Amino acid sequence: MSRRLAFLAALVAVGLLGLPATAQAPTRFETAEQARAALDAARLQQRNARARGERLERQAARGREASEKARAESAAMAARVQQAEAGIDAAEARLALANRQRLALDRELAQRRTPLVRLTGALQSMSRRPLALSALQSGSLRDLVYTRAVLDSTIPLVRERTAALRTDLDRAKRLESEARQALADRRDSEAALRERRKQLSALAEQERLKARQAAGGADREAQRALVLAEQAIDLDQLVGRLEAAGSLRERLAALPGPLPRPADPTSASVSAPPSPLASATEPPARYQLPVAGEITAGFGEAGTSGQRQAGLALAARPRAQVVAPGAGRVVFAGPYRGYGRIVIVEHASGWTSLVTGLDTLDVAVGQDVTAGSPLGLAPARRGEVTLELRHGGEPVNPLDHLR
């Protein structure tokens, strides 16, 4: 019986051993539901970024012109950067979930610890007591028979509790393994992010140099944009002036060329301008959000000042990659009072995108971009990147045009 008692004491003691500490990481999730929602969102963003990267890589492989090929390669690398960022977010959410489940398990075991400690102490004390000594003491045989009867009824309960403890310990080991895997995935994603950012920085610099070589008047256009920024009272006025300049440029480009002088002057006629196509008001194709993150303020929502939001506010992770929401031409890129560094992209058919809240810029005025081309990076601290989409000067909900 001493062996049985010693065995039972050892089984119970197994459940009282301290569990190995799970690696902790800073978490911004207050509840497990928030962590699960963030995990689902990060996995979706990861899949979307991977699909964009593969599509742009195929587009770059098919590209014939050097400029088109460079833009596609740069956009593909930016998508891979966003894929790595989403992988970090997913790993952090998985780690937060594992840690929360581990803490809940620790609390549950703590509630059962006190009675099990007492039972373990009693069993260990009885197991160390020699059977011959119990037989020589007065009344010990009666006590021994009584103890045997109590143990016969207690052993099934002890086995049941120790089985539950073993199950909890197995669960704790699984949680520990999940946490370690999440940490390893995060380290891998961070390493991939660093490498891809180096490649993207080199591609962006090459694209800027090619854009400067291709457009001789880019410097004059940049100076004109800076003058407009200084003259504009607010951001709305700046966007309006840039849109007016863009529409004027489109109208001038649409004018017909000169007609040869006819032999008979009386038969001269004035050429009519081309009629607008049905798709002249179509929004930009493959429109997307400029950064991966949670929407903290929606289109038309009232802010703290009571003013309605003219676009979307997105919570971006530190140093997150910001990309062009659609294909077009950069008409402004630089700091603007109260908005950090901003980028204004002029699309076809009178559409304009405004991206604010950037910390660094990878584009210059006059540069052509495609959907997903890198614009710059978000600030080093977690902040907001805003997106406004306008048509003819009027704000439009970007969510209605995501492709």
Q: How does pLDDT run across 271-323, given as a tens digit for each residue?
A: 555 554 445 678 888 899 999 888 888 888 876 666 778 889 999 888 999 99
Residue 11: what pLDDT? 46
Residue 346: what pLDDT? 92
Identify the segments of the chain with pLDDT beneath 70.
Answer: 1-29, 64, 109-166, 168-169, 208-219, 246-280, 303-306
Residue with tokens 């049985």: 4
The answer to whether the beta carbons of residues 323 and 363 sit under 8 Å apart is no
Distance, CA of 235 to CA of 335 (rounded, Å): 12
User: Strand 293-297 to strand 374-377: parallel, antiparallel, or no bridges (unpaired)?
Assistant: unpaired
Q: What is the 3-state secondary structure (H, E, C) of the chain?
A: CHHHHHHHHHHHHHCCCCCCCCCCCCCCCCCHHHHHHHHHHHHHHHHHHHHHHHHHHHHHHHCCCHHHHHHHHHHHHHHHHHHHHHHHHHHHHHHHHHHHHHHHHHHHHHHHHHHHHHHHHHHHHHHHCCHHHHHHCCCHHHHHHHHHHHHHHHHHHHHHHHHHHHHHHHHHHHHHHHHHHHHHHHHHHHHHHHHHHHHHHHHHHHHHHHHHHHCCCHHHHHHHHHHHHHHCCCHHHHHHHHHHHHHHHHHHHHCCCCCCCCCCHHHCCCCCCCCCCCCCCCCCCCECCCCCEEEEECCCCECCCCCECCCEEEEECCCCEEECCCCEEEEEEEEECCCEEEEEEECHHHEEEEEEEECEECCCCCCEECCCCEEEECCCCCEEEEEEEEECCEEECHHHHEC
Residue 245: what pLDDT? 73
Residue 314: what pLDDT? 92
Residue 330: what pLDDT? 92
Residue 359: what pLDDT? 92
Q: How does pLDDT run across 337-387, given as a tens digit for each residue?
A: 888 899 999 998 889 999 999 999 988 888 889 999 999 999 888 888 999
Residue with tokens 């910001």: 322
Residue 353: what pLDDT? 94
Residue 16: what pLDDT? 45
